[in-house]
């Protein structure tokens, strides 16, 4: 027997929220409508999912949601049947499941949907605590609040409060939710891949939402504030300072075995992005950005060269290094308490016992990138007190996205168009 599974290359809503911190309500509307479509199908066939959560909502290539993980799902044998098994994920579990006295039915999926809507807008589940028993206690008491420092529309707040009702019979039906004002606005037929890393543009929001709706959105997340390094893995502090493996492999070896067409960026003929054709001419209005890069995250990390000629590496352990153009100075960054902590050194004087391997890797990345970067491509920029470097990056099937320390967000698409934000 064979089981055919659909590939969802963009992971799940859980990973999306980790990268984005919070979603704009327009995106939440878009995803909520798709979740409802899934639940309508299940409930029509007498199936209760019972584990509806961000981690089970997968994102396919078209940024459409696919509901998965039916390990806790159950099928009702007749209308009105109540299930009594206590199951689910702590942050999303409905109060009647915890109580277990009267059983539960389709309403538990409705409850979980309310938790999902709240979580996507606010950035964390409404009943979340550091202790599962305390979380269950808050669920039983319906103890949650809307943070003052995070903007939320009246429509969203009203819908969430209606859904998160401890009495299952008082919750809205799926059709009630469809008819609610929060979902009355038009949403895009398909989201742009850039929204995997960046909030929607103001022009996109204005296209679908009225001006008075936007006023209520007081606070949105910073772009690309990822909680874990994209394109790499999180490591312990001890691992960061350990010598990198494959020392002998790298010494004296150039990275010429990598495929230029696949891994090295080629500058578009019309400059940076179709909307800014003058970018390649070194316009003073164009900020420092990545010009070329080599993706070697299978072993070491991402090497890149910026428009001002600086060369850097974003290592797989989330440390970073950036070398000034035609110079001797470099900055090395370690991740501590969710902040980049800088050490400034020179190639003649640095702690070799700690970062010699990474300086060696920087030299190899630089050697390879220099072969594909002409000096005349270096753009003039005003001098800055600190070296600009890539703080975060993410790779999808559609694009590579970079967040630089000068707050520039750069999106480079597979069709070789490009956007600077």
pLDDT along the chain (421 residues), means of 10: 88 93 95 97 96 96 94 94 93 95 95 98 95 96 92 94 96 97 94 87 89 54 37 40 38 34 35 31 67 85 90 93 89 89 92 89 85 66 78 89 92 87 85
Is residue 61 in a domain? yes
pLDDT for position 203: 87
Q: Give the residue numbers annotated as catalytic, written as ranges.
A: 51
Q: Residue 252 has what DSSP assignment?
A: T
pLDDT for position 236: 40
Model pTM?
0.57
- Please choose, from the candidates 117, 120, 159, 102, the residue with its C-alpha nearest in 3D space to the C-alpha of residue 23: 120
Residues 246 and 192 occupy one common structural domain: no
- Please choose, from the candidates 118, 135, 136, 132, the residue with its C-alpha nearest in 3D space to the C-alpha of residue 54: 118
Boundary (domain end) residue, out of 215, 245, 280: 215
Is residue 113 in a domain? yes
CB contact at 8 A, 110 and 172? yes
Residues 55 and 147 occupy one common structural domain: yes
pLDDT for position 223: 36
Residues 119 and 176 occupy one common structural domain: yes
pLDDT for position 381: 60
Q: At what angle do helices 107-122 and 13-20 cross, to 10 degrees?
A: 20
pLDDT for position 145: 95
Residues 45 and 160 occupy one common structural domain: yes
Residues 393 and 266 occupy one common structural domain: yes
Q: Residue 250 has what DSSP assignment?
A: H
Query: What CATH number is attached to the domain comprising 174?
Result: 1.10.510.10
- The β-bridge relationship of strands 47-48 and 339-346 is unpaired
Q: Which helix (H) or strand (E) holds 399?
A: strand 399-404
Distance CA 138, CA 153 (A): 24
Share of the chain residues as helix, strand and coil, in percent rounded to the nearest 5: 35, 15, 50
Distance CA 330, CA 259 (A): 28
Query: What CATH number is attached to the domain comprising 292?
Result: 3.30.1120.30
Is residue 229 in a domain? no
Q: Which domain, by its residues, includes 24?
A: 13-215
Is residue 186 in a domain? yes
Boundary (domain end) residue, out of 215, 250, 267: 215
Is residue 158 in a domain? yes
Residues 184 and 51 occupy one common structural domain: yes
pLDDT for position 285: 66
Is residue 101 in a domain? yes
pLDDT for position 44: 96
Q: Which two tokens stand for residue 3?
A: 């089981």
Residues 31 and 102 occupy one common structural domain: yes
Compute, in degrees rounded to 10, the torsion defined by CA atoms 228, 65, 200, 286: 60
Residues 340 and 261 occupy one common structural domain: yes
Total domains in the fold of the chain: 2
Residues 256 and 391 occupy one common structural domain: yes
DSSP string for residues in 127-156: T--SSHHHHHHHHHHT-----TTS---HHH
Residues 163 and 297 occupy one common structural domain: no
- Please choose, from the candidates 247, 391, 263, 271, the residue with its C-alpha nearest in 3D space to the C-alpha of residue 319: 391
Residues 208 and 243 occupy one common structural domain: no
Is residue 221 in a domain? no
Boundary (domain end) residue, out of 215, 250, 273: 215
58-to-14, 33, 64 alpha-carbon distances in Å: 9, 15, 8
128-to-91, 152, 319, 339 alpha-carbon distances in Å: 6, 19, 31, 24
Q: Which two tokens stand for residue 280?
A: 């390649």
Residues 115 and 200 occupy one common structural domain: yes
Is residue 222 in a domain? no
- What 3-state DSSP class applies to 328? coil
């Amino acid at each position: 027997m064979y089981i055919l599974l659909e590939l969802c290359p963009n992971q799940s809503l859980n990973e999306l929220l980790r990268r984005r911190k919070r979603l704009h309500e327009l995106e939440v509307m878009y995803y909520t409508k798709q979740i409802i479509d899934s639940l309508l199908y299940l409930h029509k066939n007498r199936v209760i999912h019972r584990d509806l959560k961000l981690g089970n909502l997968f994102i396919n290539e078209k940024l459409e949601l696919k509901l998965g993980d039916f390990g806790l799902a159950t099928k009702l044998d007749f209308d009105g049947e109540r299930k009594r098994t206590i199951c689910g994920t702590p942050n999303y579990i409905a109060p009647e499941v915890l109580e277990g006295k009267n059983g539960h039915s389709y309403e538990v999926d409705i409850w979980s949907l309310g938790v999902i809507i709240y979580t996507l807008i606010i950035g964390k589940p409404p009943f979340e605590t550091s202790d599962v028993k305390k979380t269950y206690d808050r669920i039983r008491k319906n103890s949650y609040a809307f943070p003052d420092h995070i903007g939320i529309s009246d429509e969203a707040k009203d819908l969430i409060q209606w859904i998160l009702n401890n009495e299952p019979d008082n919750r809205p039906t799926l059709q009630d939710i469809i008819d609610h004002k929060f979902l009355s606005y038009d949403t895009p037929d398909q989201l742009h891949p850039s929204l995997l890393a960046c909030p929607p543009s103001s022009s996109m929001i204005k296209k679908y939402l009225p001006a008075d709706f936007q006023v209520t959105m007081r606070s949105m997340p910073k772009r690309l504030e990822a909680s874990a390094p994209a394109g790499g893995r999180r490591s312990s502090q001890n691992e960061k300072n350990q010598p990198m493996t494959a020392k002998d492999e790298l010494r004296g070896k150039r990275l010429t075995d990598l495929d230029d067409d696949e891994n090295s960026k080629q500058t578009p003929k019309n400059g940076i992005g179709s909307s800014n054709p003058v970018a390649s001419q070194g316009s003073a209005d164009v900020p420092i950005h990545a010009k070329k890069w080599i993706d070697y995250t299978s072993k070491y990390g991402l090497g890149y060269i910026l428009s001002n000629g600086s060369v850097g590496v974003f290592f797989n352990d989330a440390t970073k290094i950036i070398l000034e153009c035609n110079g001797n100075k470099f900055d090395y960054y370690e991740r501590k308490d969710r902040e980049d902590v800088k050490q400034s050194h020179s190639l003649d004087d640095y702690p070799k016992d700690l970062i010699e391997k990474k300086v060696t890797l920087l030299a190899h990345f630089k050697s390879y990138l220099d072969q594909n970067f002409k000096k005349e491509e270096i753009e003039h920029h005003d001098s800055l007190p600190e070296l600009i470097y890539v703080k975060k990056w993410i790779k999808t099937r559609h694009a590579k996205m970079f967040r630089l320390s000068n707050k520039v967000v750069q999106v480079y698409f597979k069709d070789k168009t490009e956007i600077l934000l």
